[in-house]
Chain A
């Protein structure tokens, strides 16, 4: 048996019909799979998901002028994930991400100390409390750690991912306004079960090195939340496409 197989592989005139037959069979399988499977969650032309977590609270009356959004509370420090070996890159441009701690610059900074016992401290606490109540416009069905006053479309996990990535999305102010109109870049992130980005691929560069460098830095410095269990395989194997724009 092994001798017959070796003989067939060694003769191109017998190999090519088999290759063509195999190609045809695979093409048929791909076509059938494509027809039989449900429509993908997102089509290329479909509007990408933009999700925001709505803050728990009362909506601000629409006839009033807007207040500035308060900065979101600092996120709790997550424990360091166990190191996971980076998967083999599918293309030469894939970059393995070291499992490093978030940048110190992204860590929460302690605020100025207020002495509650002092009259000044009490007044400041009272003013801050009043301001917080006024600033916390949200919705009755919002999330306790929401950071937006209005809802957006999307699921909760992606909302958290967007929020985390946005925190690390820093660009130099010197990028001109004309460039800001069209600068975009796309990365595919492969996310492990603990939220670590094991590798990413810059699938579409902007043409501006400072912008592209900032995108990669944002991905490297951001710690994402763990995906929901049913979607872990999707985010690890297929990945999440992230379109950065201004």
Chain B
């Protein structure tokens, strides 16, 4: 039995939609008269699918889609649109609606759309439960100097870490910022060997990026990203094929004297948002560690005799 919440301020439309839905005995139908009431209902009882009108007082359908997407990401929303609202339907899909159905096509399309969306929603919930059961995961990527793949990679890593319960939404964003900075460093300063001090002249900086993207030896270099996830921590190792650098030579970007220098800000943000950040001796591989709920282990006591 699937619980469907119909949200519409028109009593006539609520009844009509309810009648179509009750043709399927496996659907339990409940009603709300606006977005606010729908959100209150979501807090009280489990809902498998929301079917909402667009134009409503208080919280309208589009706003409801955004809120449900943020706060109940596993609950799909189908928008019911009137003729002439196709543009808003597209906006709703961008905002995270699972689908939309025209009100004048309800008799033909409603049940079909509801069944399709419920089926996808059920698979997503099962996948989410399965991911919560994962205890360890190790995988790696080898990427060319292709920025187009970096954002999907970061989203994938954020989703995997989040699904395993390693972090909440806020931490997920922070992990994303740190990974972006690490990948940007590995690409621009590692593989392409571009000095961060050139950053002050944006046009010259990006002209050099474009030049080196197509020139040997930079063109043929790769980045490797090794990931180890467990119930305790997430470990990311990002390695470039550049000549490396000595991170201790970077100016401290928090020193007021260095505030205007571009160097070191990326590493500063990596250190800010990860629990551990360490470079290898060459300076072409960085290891980023995030502990579950920030629970880093206490420092290990030093063994052996103290240095004299």
A binds B: no
What is the interface of chain B, defined by CB distance below 8 A to chain A?
none
